[in-house]
A and B are shown apart, each in its own frame.
Chain A
Amino acid sequence: MSEKTAERVANATPVHIARKIKGLSDRTIAWIFVGPTIFLLLAINIFPLIWTVNLSFTNFKANRINRAIDYVGLRNYERILTDTDVWLSMQATAHFLFWTIFFQVLIGFTLAWLINKKFKGNDLWTTIIVLPMMLSPAVVGNFWTFLYQPQIGLFNYVVAFLTGRDASSFEMLGSVDLAPWSIVIVDTWMWTPFVMLICLAGLRSIPDYIYEAAEVDRASKLRQFFTITIPMVLPFLMLAVLFRGIENFKMFDLVVQLTGGGPGSTTELASIHLKREAFEKWRTGYSSALAIILFVTVFGLASIYVKALNKVKGK
């Protein structure tokens, strides 16, 4: 904190200059410049959030305008925490979160490590690898349902070709066992480049002299990897995991297009469950409470994680 304060003081315009400025004072300009942004965020983010909190204590249904609204206290929260469907959706989210991050870190780091060997044309190939993550998850996810078709889909065909199984003998999106993996595959395909880019930045931030010093000490390449490369990249990797974690906790568009939460409720992630409650069943009060619970969860987890991240960085 003290460091930050110092930085802020340094940032302020030096007094001898400030005195000479014509026109509006810096103070006024600062508020004119920041004001609209704060106002917009208050109107479209904070006010709605407060409203959501308020709604979460009611039995309001947004599709029933003529119905009386009653305050029901904590009943919505109680219902949610005792609802097995909510817990199942949290489990599905946890499975999705864990495995997507696992594969993305594994593949993303490996790719970054390989690219850092600085072979010819590595810039070009990096750009190509990055493409999937910049595209619309809804549009691309929708197309993946076509690739996953058991009869005609390219994915099934390729798997059948490689394993000798019948292409119509397995249903990536329709079977309870495979559907959770089918969404992990597509998310990994889309977002591995993200982890890769951040790891690459981490690898490139390691100064050569550290390796040179290790070389002088006759440390083996393997030892260098575990004592230099990994620890130096770790803060970057953790940052990548933070971003992916938050994003995938909120995951909606890609999975809605792929499975719609099915089969049954196998891949009904928290956001999809929330959407069903809020915009299909129109249980506005109930779903507001669920929204608050999700927000608090992601905020809480992220805060704990950031603390851990800062500790690692501090080392």
Chain B
Amino acid sequence: MSFSVTEATTRQKWMAGTLVILYAVISLIPLVWILMTGLKTPPDSISYPPKVMFEPSLEGYVNLFTTRTRVSKETLESLPPPANFAEEIVRNRDMVIAGPSKFGQRFMNSVIIGFGSTFLSVFLGTLAAYAFSRFRIPLADDLLFFILSTRMMPPIAVAIPIFLMYRNIGLSDTHLGMILLYTAVNISLAVWLLKGFIDEIPREYEEAALIDGYTRFQAFYKVVLPQAATGIASTAIFCLIFAWNEYAFAVLLTSGTAQTAPPFIPTIIGVGGLDWPAVAAGATLFLIPVMIFTIMLRKHLLRGITFGAVRK
């Protein structure tokens, strides 16, 4: 190992590492607490002092996926024995399962709208990014800036006319309406990111293909797309995460049919007493996919969050 003035000493590294790890651990506590609360029983979740050691229970998850009604002791005793663990947990609270909750449906809405809008924004974004990267487009800088500036609007401000527009054309509370809206919001990110990725692909490749008799479209399809695959994939994940997490539009423009999980999860609490384990269970299921994506994305994270303004 060669000596370098910029290389930190072992002691410095050790101290820096300790401090960073300390911060990381502290900042993880709220997330770990969500995970733990989801596995507590409701009484355990609100005990004081807060319980770190507890007997895990699936009650939160059962409550998340079901609606329940309280029944009298007599009715309870007259019922046949519980068919599964969920029924057993519910009966211990003098209740019976009345049916499924809306959580599954809302989660599916998140999936449909998330993937739908991601596909559309990446599809349109790739085309536009390619054009901006390779062709001479009049007013290109202004157009690119215009595309970016649409992100500066507070969502509530955009939501007012969108609300009126959707009301008039019947797109309120529909999957299509939300997909179009999220696409419009995401496309600026997609264009900027993808333009950066495509700029990095040497144009000589396509030019060679064009000289070989490929049409421009074939060159784009057969040469550029495969080269841009990683960039497209990470752009897609960023779009998906945005659509997945979005709250303001969802809360204002959907009420049931197309409502996604973020406006729904906080309302789980209000059903039959303050049920924090059910909220935490919903949050856990909702957050875990994003955590996995974040780890997959770590190489491109910086670029994604800065619209491609900073590249490593």
Contacts and interface: CB of A to CB of B under 8 A. Distances in A.
Interface of A: 4, 8-9, 11-14, 17, 20-24, 26-27, 29-30, 32-34, 36-38, 40-41, 43-49, 51-52, 55, 62, 107, 111, 114-115, 117-123, 125-140, 142-144, 146-147, 151-154, 157, 167, 189, 192, 194, 197-198, 200-201, 204, 208, 211-212, 215, 236, 239, 243, 246, 249-250, 252-253, 256-257, 270-271, 274-275, 278-279, 284, 287-288, 291-292, 294-295, 298-299, 302
Contact of A13 (B134, B137, B187, B218): B134
B287 interface: yes
B92 interface: no
Nearest to B263: A138
A11 B134 contact: yes
Contact of B147 (A41, A55, A201): A41
Q: Is the interface of A mostly helix, strand, loop or mixed?
A: helix
Interface string B175-205: 0000011011001100100000000000000
B119 interface: no
Contacts, number: 322
Contact of B154 (A8, A41, A114, A295): A295
B125 A131 contact: no
Interface in B117-154: 124-125, 127-128, 130-137, 140-141, 143, 146-147, 149-154
B310 A139 contact: no
A238 B214 CA distance: 45
B108 interface: no
B162 A298 contact: no
16 contacts: A11-B135, A26-B134, A30-B135, A40-B124, A48-B165, A49-B153, A132-B30, A135-B245, A136-B247, A139-B262, A140-B287, A143-B37, A197-B302, A250-B152, A270-B154, A278-B156
A55 B160 CA distance: 10
Contact of B216 (A21, A140, A151): A21
Interface of B: 4-8, 12-14, 16-17, 19-21, 23-24, 27-31, 33-34, 37, 46-50, 124-125, 127-128, 130-137, 140-141, 143, 146-147, 149-165, 167, 180-181, 183-184, 187-188, 191, 207, 210-211, 213-218, 241, 244-245, 247-248, 252, 261-263, 265-266, 269, 276, 279-280, 282-283, 286-287, 290-291, 293-295, 298, 301-302, 305-306, 309-310, 312
| Contact residues of B: prevailing secondary structure | helix
A121 B163 CA distance: 48
Contacts of A294: 154, 157
A171 to B, nearest CB: 15
B163 A62 contact: yes
Nearest to A213: B5
Contacts of A123: 298
A22 B216 CA distance: 7
Contact of B312 (A22, A55, A204, A208): A204
A135 B289 CA distance: 10
B217 A24 contact: yes
A48 to B, nearest CB: 4
Contacts of A62: 160, 163-164, 167
Nearest to B127: A33
A33 B215 contact: no
A304 to B, nearest CB: 13
Contacts of B283: 139-140, 142-143
Contacts of A125: 17, 20-21, 24
Given A36-B124, A147-B33, A152-B47, A29 B290 contact: no
Contacts of A299: 149, 152
Nearest to B126: A33
Given A11-B134, A132-B30, A154-B50, 19 more contacts: A21-B215, A24-B215, A30-B135, A49-B161, A52-B160, A52-B161, A119-B20, A123-B298, A129-B20, A129-B23, A139-B245, A139-B283, A140-B287, A143-B37, A143-B279, A189-B30, A208-B4, A250-B152, A275-B252
A252 B263 CA distance: 13
Nearest to B165: A48
Contacts of B152: 246, 250, 295, 298-299, 302
Given A41-B184, A41-B187, A198-B302, A134 B125 contact: no
Contacts of B262: 136, 138-139, 253
Given A48-B165, A55-B161, A154-B29, A211 B184 contact: no
A65 to B, nearest CB: 9
A132 B6 contact: no
B135 to A, nearest CB: 4
